[in-house]
Amino acid sequence: MDVWIVLLNLLMFIVLIGVLFYLQKKKVSFSKRVFTALGLGIVFGFALQWLYDPADENLTQSIDWYNIVGSGYIKLLQMIVMPLVFVSIISAFTKLKQSHNLGRISVLILGLLVGTTAVAAAVGIATTAAFDLEAIQIEQGDAEAARGVQLEERAAAMEGQGYPQKILELLPANPFYDFTGQRATSTIAIVIFAAFIGIAYLGIQRKEPDAAASFKKIVDSIYAVVMRVVTLVLRLTPYGVLAIMAKTVALSDFDAIAKLGEFVVASYIALLVMFAIHLLMLTLSGLNPLTYVKKVLPVLTFAFTSRSSAGTLPLNIHTQTKKLGVSEGIANFSGSFGLSIGQNGCAGVYPAMLAVMIAPTVGIDPLTPSFILTLIIIVAISSFGVAGVGGGATFAAILVLSAMDLPIALAGLLISIEPLIDMGRTAVNVSGAMTAGVITSKATGELDTGLYQNADIAEE
């Protein structure tokens, strides 16, 4: 390793950080700074890719330093996810304008999340069939074989659990343990725990209004503090995007991406179709889809670069409430539920595409009506409890392939392009959660349409 080369790479990165800091001082809008960071990260990443081999020690050492900003930012977001989910759900109950709307709101949000995931599965099936993709077409190297073994081992650990056992796994036997995020279902467990507290609050509100009012003040105070922490962390978003994107592009294996280019293209077409369906749903609800796109682009950009639905939660809730006019209660519900339920990209499109690709290897015709219907139902059911961080798509794929009795190891064939596909999947996951929030708020009459239609808010 050449220390001077590493220092030069670090200096170039610091200069780019300085550019973003200068734009911040000049009061350039948040959206423009995020997109500037994205562009600078891509260009800088390609420059590093051109100058160094991915295995070059000078590059790896430089990336380690960049990770202080990129991975450090992700860790700060992860730090606030569980507290934010917990207090957001409780706050959603305390801020409900009409408590009798709770059942309707919950059913609408869950129905939209799971329903759009079923639609996403159908889109994934259709796209795979249109491109005539099969797992047998993909060459298997050492990395793919190793990944396949890992998936089989993970599936073996889950083996023997029927759906009743999997449902039990969602429940928070020890919520304090789940606050650490150690289980794949920790997020949904915290949502359930917070929901119980919220329901208890509604009961106390009827019987002991003074006690309920005191509790609400405490929750509001905690929520205000947590959201202030969120604001402080979100100010670092452009810097995090720059570092994450530079690392992603610099270390990408473009040869592997070229070999699997057809699957990459098919995946992104399926994801774009699903995003178009989100826009169609908004249009049918009487809302301008272009306004939605303008306001959520910074959120989707961060989801794309970070590959973390959970890490995007603060931006998700902030954008729903401050830019799209969604009520705080509904935004908190849809954002938090969307972390572990009905992720359109990770739990919908991806497992369905894998199942259709792998089925022919065991002599199954994936285009028979019975296979398609079974796959869509299993994808929808399996979308409960999918983690909102990196690895959620793998978890969903294992569940679906196991239920369909298909070889799990073949899912490892896509390891070389997994990060690239995961970026698009995460953005669609977040869009699905935000769409559910907006449509639910509109259906219940709680959407601030004036705020939604205000185009100037998109530039803030």
pTM: 0.79
User: What pLDDT shows up at residue 269?
Assistant: 94
User: What pLDDT shows up at residue 30?
Assistant: 78
**Confidence tier at 27 by pLDDT (50, 70, 90):** confident
Residue 387 pLDDT greater than 70, yes or no: no
User: What pLDDT shows up at residue 50?
Assistant: 86
Per-residue pLDDT reduced to its tens digit, 293-307? 999 998 998 888 877
User: What pLDDT shows up at residue 126?
Assistant: 94
CATH number of the domain to which 26 belongs? 1.10.3860.10
Task: Give the range among 226-240, 280-294, 379-393, 440-454 with minimum mean pLDDT.
Answer: 379-393
Provide Rg for the chain, Cα atoms. 22
Per-residue pLDDT reduced to its tens digit, 394-408? 667 777 877 788 877
**Confidence tier at 268 by pLDDT (50, 70, 90):** very high
Rounding to the nearest 10 degrees, give the CA dihedral for residues 355, 359, 361, 367.
Answer: -130
User: What pLDDT shows up at residue 14?
Assistant: 93
- What is the residue range of 299's domain? 3-459
Return the number of other C-beta atoms located less than 10 Å from residue 65's C-beta.
Answer: 15
Residue 55 pLDDT greater than 80, yes or no: no
**Confidence tier at 389 by pLDDT (50, 70, 90):** very low
Q: 326 to each of 226, 229, 386, how far by Cα in Å?
A: 19, 21, 25
Q: Are 220 and 90 in contact (CB under 8 A)?
A: no
Q: Across all residues in the chain, what is the average pLDDT? A: 82
How many structural domains is the chain composed of? 1
User: What pLDDT shows up at residue 360?
Assistant: 87
Burial of 71 (0-12, 13-18, 19+ CB in 10 A): middle
**Confidence tier at 223 by pLDDT (50, 70, 90):** confident
Sign, Cα dihedral of 294, 82, 103, 426: positive
Per-residue pLDDT reduced to its tens digit, 88-129? 888 878 877 655 577 788 889 989 999 999 999 999 999 999
Per-residue pLDDT reduced to its tens digit, 133-178? 877 655 555 554 555 555 555 555 555 556 667 667 777 888 888 8
**Confidence tier at 373 by pLDDT (50, 70, 90):** very high
Q: Quick one: residue 27, left, alpha or beta (phi over 0 = left, psi -120 to 50 = alpha)?
A: left
Residue 181 pLDDT greater than 80, yes or no: no
Report how far residue 158's alpha carbon sits from residue 154's, in angstroms, rounded to the nearest whole number.
Answer: 7
User: What pLDDT shows up at residue 436?
Assistant: 95
User: What pLDDT shows up at residue 100?
Assistant: 58
In terms of average pLDDT, the best of 23-37, 245-259, 389-403 is 23-37
Q: 281 to each of 370, 389, 439, how far by Cα in Å?
A: 28, 26, 8
User: What pLDDT shows up at residue 391?
Assistant: 53
Per-residue pLDDT reduced to its tens digit, 326-341? 988 888 888 888 877 8
